[in-house]
Structure 1
Amino acid sequence: MNRPTEEQIREVLAGTSTPETAGLVARWFATDEGAAYLSRNMDCEVEQVKPGYEEFYVDHEINSDELFARIRRNIRRKRIHRITFRVAAVLVPFIILAGLFVQLDKRVDLFGVSGYEEIYVAKGERLQMMFQDGTRVYINSDSRLKYPKKFALSSREVYLEGEAYFVVSENPKRPFIVNLNGPAIRVLGTSFDVNAYPDSKDIAVCLDEGRISLTLPSNKEYPVQPGERLVYNRDNDRCTISRNSDNRFSSLWKTNVIAFRDAPLAEVIRVLHRWYNVDFKVNDREAWNVYFTLTSENTLLEKVLRDLEKIAPLRFNYDEAEKEIIVTTK
């Protein structure tokens, strides 16, 4: 490695350097060249008195016995100093590195022992949060996110059940990984929506910008480009990728907009159940064959139900006794 400048070395030994400079000098001290330099530097500080010339450094008269005793003490002291400083030449780099190591461990999980936090967003609620690396995540209703208290040094991994929208802080050396109970999404610096509720056979990923890839337990990898929608079927282990005509549609929920596009009643009921924590009862089999396309910025349940009735041959009536919404045909 490159040798630090004399000024950088002096700053480190004086304790006035920056952490970056200290790290550079400490790594050089750990080399053979650096250790030899440090040993020489320390020896010079204690070798001001050369053997045989000790008396020239005594500026007053002194009897020979006392002089001899002092010389012997000086010799012993210098020997101890030499041993001590040679040991220090080895220890100082590690002490400096240890200090930097402690500072680094405060920011990242070097040993994988920091533990995990888990957050559950209940039905009828949504949540936005930010990780320590600057990554933002919007979590939809009835979703669970598990994340480490501190990200690891080489990767950033979270575990998701449900739906979330991620805006990942870019760091090619520390990929962001979203684990989906088997499949996993590998991210470099990206904005994307992932829908992976446990009660659904499909995992859907819509990429707005950046680069991601879905890795299956079989190690098959599917890269996704901006504007594409990936759907993975857990039952048949098949994966399809298609162009998304409106790549922002899938993430409208994070702005409190309810949106359906050619969605069957079953999907509408699942979404409304999560958004409002209400149950539905369908009394007519024909109702399951009705599809809906709707975008509503007014997220009051009553208003959404009235909008659904306007575009479909169905009625949605709230039964207060049973605390459920009864779906019938008109």
Structure 2
Amino acid sequence: MNYYRSYQLEDFARDESFRQWVLEHEPSNTQFWQQWLAENPDCREKVHLAKAFLLALEENETDLPELELDAITEQILQAPPQTSSQFWQFPLFQWAASIILLLGVGWGTYSYFRPSTLAFHDSKTVVAFKDNYLEQTNQSDRVQKISLQDGSTISLYPKSRIRYPQPFRAQLREVYLEGKAFFDVAKNPQQPFWVYTDYISTQVLGTSFMVQAFSEADEAKVVVKTGRVSVYTLKDSEKATTNQQAVKAGVVLTPNQQVAFSIPQERFLKSIVEAPAAVVQTPVSSYSFEETPVSQVFDLIEKTYGISVIYDAKVLENCFLTATLSEESLFDKLDLICKITHSTYEIVDAQIIIHSRGCK
């Protein structure tokens, strides 16, 4: 398929095989295009930009029928340049301007600052291309879903902004965040995924997690839903990318754990999330207890929620539980168990510590 080498951005966007690969993830087309890119690495930039265009169009028009989407795409591709400036002769920027006019109800202005920069905005979204980086700002009052070229997705919250290279570097996937976003990262051990904010950075291989770091706040937070992440100060993250010893400086988080970074104190505080969810599905009957040693109950809780429960087995050896706790939240379970066994608990470093004098 040597004729693909002569394709321009608009040709890729019109090509049926290319569109099926980008929008439908059809297996045979995926295999073909991955192989073609491996054999034609000099065409990667055009391909990635064409992918970004199609994905952006799809995200803005997810409720439209496929035929109508195709028609809008063709209309965008045929749209004339908006100015005679040499800058606008690049088809990608013509598309960007056309997307503003065709898809963004109420699109306001667009401007460029130099040949490597394009920005356009309305009351809901700001998108900019600058020095091979794509930047998107959510000015709406709803969460916006963004698809990345590696298969990862970002749920960008209102008043938040992300910036990332197009394409990612071969050995590293980097995203810069200001505000709040939920990341669902495609697993790729050979290409770690980093999220940078003004004060902290988060490294993952494949997981889902939330990062919150607004510029005016005095605290940044990372919350893990699935998988495992390491959180660093920016200074330590620079070392961690090049020095394995520095990796130990990170705060490791697993599901149902979070860490808050105090910006004034430059200190991490690790804890359990407000509403822990089960990470292992257990039968409802598992939480029906009849004279069950309380140590077994704590072990089941630890397995279900992936949170360490630390207790003195010797002190609790005469404590037994008869109760049904299938509907209660984690903290309600703990409250009831501790009330029945005359115990207390506290959360220390994202672990549950049980304090008890035992049962007679």
State TM-score, norm by structure 2. 0.39
Structure number with bigger Rg: 1
Q: Which fold has the larger relative contact order, with Cα–Cα distance below 8 Å and residues 6 or more apart in sequence?
A: 1
State TM-score, norm by structure 1. 0.42
